[in-house]
Structure 1
Amino acid sequence: MRKQLLLHTRQYVQKDYLMHTHQCQLFRMGYVRLKIRELAEERGWTLKDVANYSGVNYNTVRSYVQRGSLNTVDLSAVFKIARAFEVTLEELVEVLEE
């Protein structure tokens, strides 16, 4: 009985953790554009510099710039990018369509 309860609890915790992690990582905001290129140009940074300073994977940074409009972003990555530029989220994110 104790093994079954422990196994059930572990499965529940894992399931809850995966759901919470997914919800935190993917943030649906309508359509937005991240002003990464403009902010990088103001500072004389390349996209690789943005990735290095923010700690966000280069391919993620590049895809955010290339895709233009986004409807799903990794919120933790957006926070890191904003922190690297020393700007607020409002200064980084341009709402295109809600």
Structure 2
Amino acid sequence: MGYVRLRIRELAEKKSWTLKEVANRSGVNYNTVKSYVRRDSLNTVDLSAVYNIARAFDVALEELIEVIEE
């Protein structure tokens, strides 16, 4: 089973957004965004939330998701 890391913090810093702004702009619950950022690797994610976060940043899913080999 593979793990992923979401590059939310890096993309937010590029836009000078707080995690709260990411949540507001994407429509994803703040606690969900915060939990995705705090974990180094995830084995499950809410794909619709990840898609909405990518749209908020105006990036492709591939730019938001980093696959971690384990």
Q: Same fold (TM over 0.5)?
A: yes
Question: As a proportion of its length, which structure holds more helix?
Answer: 1
Counting aligned pairs with the same residue, the percent is: 79
Letter in 2 for 1:56: V
Q: Using the TM superposition, give the Cα deviation of residue 52 of structure 1 relative to its aligned residue in structure 2, in angstroms.
A: 0.1
Query: Aligned pairs, how many?
Result: 70
Higher RCO (CA 8 Å, separation ≥ 6 residues): 2
Determine which of 43, 55, 62 is the counterpart of 2:27. Answer: 55
Give the one of 42, 47, 52 matched to 1:70.
42
Could you tell me which runs of 5 or more consecutive residues in structure 1 were left unpaired when the two chains were aligned: 1-28
Q: Summarize deviations over 1:43-97 as a string: whole Å, max 9, x none.
A: 0000000000000000000000001100000000000000000000000000002
Give the TM-score taking structure 1 as reference length. 0.69
Structure 2 unaligned spans of 5+ = none
Partner letter of residue 9 of structure 2? R
Larger fraction in strand:
1
TM-score when scaled to structure 2?
Answer: 0.96
Partner of 2:51: 79
